[in-house]
Structure 1
Amino acid sequence: MPVARFDEAGRLAVDAALERGEAVVLPTPSPLAYVVAAKTVSAVNRAKGRPRDQPVALWEPRFEQVAPHLALDEAERRRLGWLLGVERVTALVPLASLASLASLASDDGAPGWLAPAARFGMALLFGVAWEPLAWLLERHAPLFVSSANGAGALPAVDLRQALAGFGPEVWVLDGDALRDRARPHASTTTLRFVAGRGWEIHRRGIQDTLRANAGRSDYLADVLARADAALFRRPFARRHDGRAGRQARRSPPADRDGPVLLHGCRGRRPRHHAA
């Protein structure tokens, strides 16, 4: 399997693979796992060995490109931007309308760029911005992205696992030296915004599990309070659902496996629903 380093030759190899329409495996910052990314959904799913139309997330770190197409008020858009860019969760959020997808297909310069990450009026967004990958995202975003694993396997959290999970035609960018391998790693927590209910945990992942493992409960309340403190200068205390002053209703997360089990360099790997 071809391995690219973080040097000029590695950048050229990854850049060329994306230009050819291929999927590449990329590192993301600790404590997140590696991901597989491409310019098309079919390329991501082909690399993972699963049906070509299976849902994946849109990777567009320039949030201002996505925000106008979401059925969120201004306060919730700002909160979502913080959740994606600072907390680095994945988010499932409502689109302004299904009709808006048809208009996107004819937009000059971005034909259909959002529609492949949308199902049933909801879009799945991955917004991680990371300086070591800035050159790639500036050139190729938006990309489509999923966890770096083959069908039925667990997400890769280091180069060795990434190499084991994909065929020899898939380039892997080695980011192990840029990550803290002593920390546990896993795929992101996915949050979901539901009209009338607010934010919920859709799929458990590394962010909420790290909090649970530290003996602190209620990740959702904590992360929304931190977002509000950063954005609106609100006291760092309460859970919010996006409508000022109202507490969010709790909703059971769509994760039948319960909290994931984490691992670092050794130990058990997390149970995880791959994106």
Structure 2
Amino acid sequence: MPVALFDAEGKLAIDEALDRGEAVVLPTPSPLAYVVAAKTAAAVNLARERPHNHPVATWEPRFDRLAPHLALDEMERRRLGWLLAVERVSVLAPQARDAAAPSWIEPAASYGMALLFGVAWEPIAWLLERHAPLFVSSANRAGAPPAVDLRQAVADLGPEVWVLDGDSLRDRARPHAPTTTLRFVPGRGWEIHRRGIQDTLRATAGRGDYLADVLSRADAAFLRNQLPRRQDGRGGRHARRSRTSDRAGPVRLARSHRPRSGAS
């Protein structure tokens, strides 16, 4: 497997591989795992030795390109944008009934929901600026654990797949794993669809209710940006935390009673 360093020559190799339609393995920021990405879903699935039409995620960090094609009201769009860009989770979001939906959403869509991966990271900003939207999945063959460092990525994927070595840019002392995946279900609200590194780290630290916490932080971030600053320099009050279900199964967030601005 060819390995590209984070220098001009290595970046050029990754850039050219994507232009040729090949899949490449890319680092993402700690504590996330490596991912395999390409301009087509088929190339991602080929690298992972899966059927060519297996669902993948759409990787588009420019949220303004995603938002018009999602069936979310304004408040939930704000939350989603923060969840993708800041919390760096993956999200299953409801699609709008849009006959003009772009082709780069379709491979990530199933049963009216689109799987979104919005991670933006300065070391790979040059690549995303040039190639996004991409299709993305975890960097491993089916049934194997996701690659969390260069050694695992090289050992697990085929010898023809370029790997961008980002180990030196990541905190290798920390545990790494794929992202937590959240989903928004109209009529039910936010749920945890798949456990991942974000909620695992919170549980390991002995803190509960990841979903309520992350949505509270999303709302608080928006309030800090929108409310007038007081003279003492502090922002307004924190957003009220939402309740979640304690039952087994998907973790659910009760619907907010705040006025909605209208569905998309």
Bin for the TM-score computed over the shorter chain: 0.7 to 0.9
State the AA in 1 paired with 2:4: A
Equivalent position amino acid for 2:91 in 1 = A
Tell me if 1:38 matches 2:38: yes
Picking from 189, 194, 200, the partner of 2:191 is: 200
Q: 1:116 to 1:250 in 2, by over 3 A?
A: farther
Q: What's the counterpart of residue 230 of structure 2?
A: none
Identity %: 74
Distance 1:226 1:159, change over 3 A: same
- Which residue matches 1:215? 206
Deviation at 1:254, TM superposition (A): 5.1
Q: 1:251/1:87 Cα in 2 relative to 1: closer, same or farther (>3 Å)?
A: farther
Deviations 1:16-75 (Å, cap 9, x if unpaired)?
100000000000000000000000000000000011111000000000000011000011
Question: What amino acid is aligned across from residue 117 of structure 1 in structure 2?
Answer: A
Partner of 1:9 in structure 2?
Answer: 9
The one-character-per-residue Cα deviations of 1:81-125 (angstroms, maximum 9, x if unpaired) are 00000000000010112xx2x4235xxxxxx12111111100000
Cα distance, 1:232 vs structure 2: 2.4
Q: What are the residue-to-residue correspondences of 1:62-141 with 2, within 5 Å?
A: 62-97=62-97, 100=98, 102-104=99-101, 112-141=103-132
Q: 1:200·1:251 contact (CA, 8 Å) conserved in 2? A: no
Question: CA offsets, 1:225-265, max 9 Å, x none?
Answer: 1111101247446433xxxxxx455665459xxxxxxxxxx
Which stretch shifts more, 22-31 or 112-121? 112-121
8 Å CA contact 2:21, 2:40 repeated in 1 = yes
Residue 115 of structure 1 aligns with an amino acid whose one-letter code is E
Count of aligned pairs: 240
Query: Which residue in the other structure is 2:56 paired with?
Result: 56
Match of 2:149 in 1: 158
State the one-letter code of the partner of 2:146: P
CA distance in structure 1 between the aligned counterparts of 2:160 and 2:39, rounded to whole angstroms: 16
* Aligned-residue CA RMSD (Å): 1.6
Is contact 1:188-1:206 (8 Å) kept? yes
Letter in 2 for 1:185: H
Structure 1 segments of 4+ aligned residues over 6 angstroms from their partners: none
Q: TM-score, normalised by structure 1?
A: 0.84
The AA in structure 2 aligned to 1:50 is: R
* Contiguous gaps of at least 5 residues in structure 1: 106-111, 241-246, 256-275
Counterpart amino acid of 1:9?
A: E
Aligned to 1:104, what secondary structure does the other structure show? coil
Contact 2:60–2:132 (Cα < 8 Å) also in 1: yes
Report the residue type matching 1:34 in the other structure.
Y
> SS of 1:103's equivalent?
coil
* Partner Cα distance (1:81, 1:2) in 2: 35
Q: Which runs of 5+ in 2 are unaligned?
A: 225-235, 252-264
Matched, 1:23 2:23: yes
Aligned to 2:256: none
Please say if residues 117 and 123 of structure 1, whose CA atoms lie closer than 8 Å, have aligned partners that are also in contact: yes
SS in 1 for 2:52: coil
CA contact (8 A) 1:42 1:53 kept: yes
